Chain A
């Protein structure tokens, strides 16, 4: 019979290295945009029940990115299964707009989208690089940033 041998929870910060390779973000700016965070792993000793519930807490998420939440299990026969889910974008800073009654209005315009050439000789380049505005992470960084400090 296949008793459970290993149970592991993982919290994996999603990396967006394509900002460097695709958009030309400077290497030294990467950690400023996506705060450095290690992969976390918690292993639990199973009790070898036919059905067993497992629960773990992960604290102090830095945010500023999405995360992959993963569960991996292995039985004594060597059968291994895992499931994973990606979280929505988790903001890095609190939404300070909620903390006062001041309303600030601003226009938000899309920049370039695929199919349009981004000028390479811009005097000042964005921290995110020469990004496309249809990138969901760019969108999260900007719109969520508008209501906080990102």
Chain B
């Protein structure tokens, strides 16, 4: 009888330990699920950011190509760059295309300046304020003179 009681106590202790282990396993399972969810969320964020970076790279490539093209044909380049900006504005938002938008503005200003410059270019380099004056005169005889002028060259 004594041996039976002793064995029963042993079984109960083991049963208690087993119960604790089950609780711990359940707790670990919960933690694992949590971290799995965190991992999935992070991976989704990484995927989204990677996509944005890829789009930014594509934007840079296309805008750089458009800027290079501008050297050949400015009007068409400005149009293409505007199209590129509009395409990516919907995907990336205004802030992401602000640099390219500024670039278009600069190109348009440059185009206007270049057109104005083309009109006045035949007049350059422009010699201004050309003149001379005697710098050494003795008894009405001019020995030395100084010549000055200003040049404007765009």
Contact = CB atoms under 8 A, between A and B. Distances in A.
B124 A75 contact: yes
Given A73-B127, A81-B126, A4 B143 contact: no
Interface stretch (A13-21, A22-30, A92-100, A119-127): A92-100
Interface residues of B, number: 28
A83 B139 contact: no
A95 B153 contact: no
A3 B146 CA distance: 25
B124 A58 contact: no
A119 B131 CA distance: 44
A62 B77 CA distance: 62
Task: Classify the interface of chain B: helix, strand, loop or mixed.
Answer: strand
Interface string A80-98: 0111010100111111101
Interface size class of A (residues with CB under 8 A): 35 or more
B140 interface: yes
A69 interface: yes
A61 B147 CA distance: 14
A57 interface: yes
